[in-house]
Chains A and B, each alone.
Chain A
Amino acid sequence: MNATLTVDQRMRRRRHVTGAVTTVGGLLVLLIAAGITWSWRAQLPDPVASHWGADGQPDGFSSLGGILAVLLGLGGGLVLLFGAATWVLGQTSVTRRIGAAATAWVSLFMAVVVVGSLFVQRGLSDAREAGSVNTVLLVGLLVPIVPAVIAAIVVPGDLRQPTTDPVPADAPRVKLVDGERAVWIRRASTPVGFYLAAPVILVGVALFVWARAWPMLVVDALVIAVLVILTTFVVRVDRAGLTVRSAGGWPRYRVPLDEVVRAGVTQVSPVKDFGGWGWRVGRDGRVGVVLRKGEALLVERTGGRSIVVTVDEPAKGAGLLNTLADRARTGG
């Protein structure tokens, strides 16, 4: 039946199916968590502990219904938000993978924390006797990373969408003689992420030292891992097309020459255009590798996809990409 559908239609269906399946899956996880804890209602104290202080003792209390309302309301809202973003903006595999991973992580994190923190209160007559939930929090933060990564990997990628249309004549070019080979390589990095993360890391260490809140160390480790993945990139244009690779080797993003519609230079305002820094999804599903404001390389790709990378000297990279795309199309 696929034979009767165009590549465009199949790609649209791919993003709709991914959005729908991840949303249903995420909601199911939340509902199962709600069902399990609701079945414990006879064994649980009323009210139950819903918040723990830095010393590991409960300091906030709520009815079971109140907790489940937050679980389903907040968790369900986030799942729907990610699902809708995938449905509407998921032209690029990166967007669909981020959406699927976020849905998996958020729903499982909330499910584990709610189920785990109520599990330790079963059989108590007074919620104030509830012990520390550090382990629950740690499991909730870490364990969902595995299914999130699996979800990102399992999401179907993009179909090849080659084009033979010429790159517009007004796009920048780099002059090459016949047979000449060329490569453009730049590193893009930013210290901003480090300055933003430094207080988080310090607070984490302080909480650990002062309150023995050891899950904070795990949070710190995650923050550092994210920093390495998200703040330094190698951007390369060569006969394989455009490659954007994190300093950690992964994630990487590639645009083959025959899928380049046009490369150019654009101005980026991180907060206004992408809502922040790092690997982002912006308006119209544009993928952004956003490390600073200002000049950036913009590559428009077939299938209504596009990527923006804030890298220095973008005109040279764009010019070479257009020139090599010309060459690939004319068979030269």
Chain B
Amino acid sequence: MLLRLDPSAEEPLFAQLVAQLRLAIAAGQLRGGERLPAARDLAESLDVNSHTVLRAYQELRDDGLIELRRGRGAVVASGAGRDHRALLKAIDVVVREARALGLSPQATAALLKEAFRT
């Protein structure tokens, strides 16, 4: 699993991490029952505070994607690995269309958020 953080982006680091992990789970790179790296290790690799990683893990737990167990660390929830391929394909289409129109990621995301409201 490849995780990347861009400190120059506006999105906070923990939110970027949440998005990256969500993606890894959606793409099936992380399967149910699989253990996530220890927060301390991940923090060291990405040169961030371990609270940042823990905060990302807590967010994913609140979404039911991972379970935090004492002693075992973070484990991907068994129901988390549902097939997202169709969704990812549709998103590819959205990105392509947005690029063709010259829309920024922020503008596209705003449209997506708006669409959820209806």
Contact = CB atoms under 8 A, between A and B. Distances in A.
The finding on whether chains A and B are genuine partners in a shared complex, rather than unrelated, reads yes
Contacts of B45: 183, 185, 236, 238-240
Interface in B1-54: 1-8, 29, 34-35, 37, 41-42, 44-48
B61 to A, nearest CB: 19
Given A236-B37, A239-B45, 6 more contacts: A177-B8, A178-B8, A179-B7, A179-B8, A183-B45, A185-B45
A228 to B, nearest CB: 15
Contacts of B7: 179-181
A316 B2 contact: yes
Contacts of B44: 238, 240
B66 to A, nearest CB: 15
Interface in A233-282: 234, 236, 238-240
A176 interface: yes
Q: Which 3 A-B pairs have the closest CB atoms?
A: A238-B45, A183-B45, A182-B4
Given A179-B7, A179-B8, A184 B2 contact: yes
A179 B4 CA distance: 11
A238 B4 CA distance: 10
Contacts of B37: 185, 234, 236
Contacts of B46: 181-183, 238
A177 B46 CA distance: 15
A320 interface: yes
A187 interface: yes
B3 A180 contact: no
A230 to B, nearest CB: 19
Given A181-B47, A236-B45, A176 B4 contact: yes
A313 B30 CA distance: 13
A95 B17 CA distance: 38
10 contacts: A178-B8, A180-B4, A181-B48, A182-B5, A183-B4, A183-B46, A184-B3, A185-B3, A185-B42, A240-B45
Interface in A48-97: none
B47 A182 contact: no
A187 B2 CA distance: 12
A7 interface: no
A197 interface: no
